[in-house]
Amino acid sequence: GALVYQYPRRTICKSGTSMRMECQAVGFQATSVAWYRQSPQKTFELIALSTVNSAIKYEQNFTQEKFPISHPNLSFSSMTVLNAYLEDRGLYLCGAKDSFSNERLFFGHGTKLSVL
Amino acid sequence: TQTVSQSDAHVTVFEGDSVELRCNYSYGGSIYLSWYIQHHGRGLQFLLKYYSGNPVVQGVNGFEAEFSKSDSSFHLRKASVHWSDSAVYFCAVSARYGGSGNKLIFGTGTLLSVKP
């Protein structure tokens, strides 16, 4: 079956430092990877959508300079949160799909980011 | 622009009761609707989707949802809930994203609490 492994599951970083999270797709080709953030008490906000052979598209309020994303092949994607501050706390999820899954995303378990 | 709204932030029922979680969407073309479940502190798990055809779609663990174009709704139902169904449920609509693919837009979520 199709699975997405995301790591780390939890991380704590000092204010102003950076942390990187990674996603591995197993059992399918991740032609598109979407990164979401769920801030405390909120819903999932799309940060950016990465599609193979297309430029990565960032949502309003999110930038490449703050959340650089790498999607080098059809099984892997990573995102870094640069200069993390309190407002960056939350659960970060990657969701991936292939060309055939008709909009359904397979999600990892998420990376919970705490900022001290 | 496509949006999705979940009017109930919290629904409480007893084990064995039926439940309906409401979702309304704004229509902007080809519609793709789905439901996801998030257990406490974890990522998202896919429940079911509607794209075309039979408006009543079956999902995992006895869940079903009915698409209604006239009501712009995609409510989730279960005939007899179990305590393990306690979780946050997210409705999502797919929206066109700059020509390079679609993105999922999530509602604010409904917390379902099932009492023994």
A77-94 pLDDT per residue, tens? 999 999 999 999 999 999
- DSSP states along B34-86: EEEEE-TTS--EEEEEESSS-SEEE-GGGEEEEEETTTTEEEEEESS--GGG-
| Beta carbons of B51 and A93 less than 8 Å apart | no
The total domain count for chain B is 1
Quote the domain boundaries for residue B58: 4-115
For the domain that residue A68 is a member of, what is the CATH number?
2.60.40.10
- For chain B, the residues whose C-beta falls within 8 A of a C-beta of chain A are 32, 34, 36, 41-46, 49, 51, 90, 94, 97-98, 100-109
Per-residue pLDDT reduced to its tens digit, B53-104: 999 999 989 999 999 999 999 999 999 999 999 999 999 998 765 554 678 8
Q: State the amino acid at position B53 in one-letter form.
A: G
Tell me if residue A12 falls in helix, strand or coil.
strand
Quote the domain boundaries for residue A58: 3-115
Residue of A nearest to B31 (CA): A103
End-to-end CA distance of chain A: 38
- DSSP states along B66-79: EEETTTTEEEEEES
Tokens of A49: 């959508």
A32 touches chain B (CB under 8 A): yes
Residue of B nearest to A6 (CA): B43
| Beta carbons of A93 and B103 less than 8 Å apart | no
The total domain count for chain A is 1
| Beta carbons of B100 and A106 less than 8 Å apart | no
For the domain that residue B95 is a member of, what is the CATH number?
2.60.40.10
Per-residue pLDDT reduced to its tens digit, A11-62: 999 999 999 999 999 999 999 999 999 988 788 999 999 988 788 999 999 9
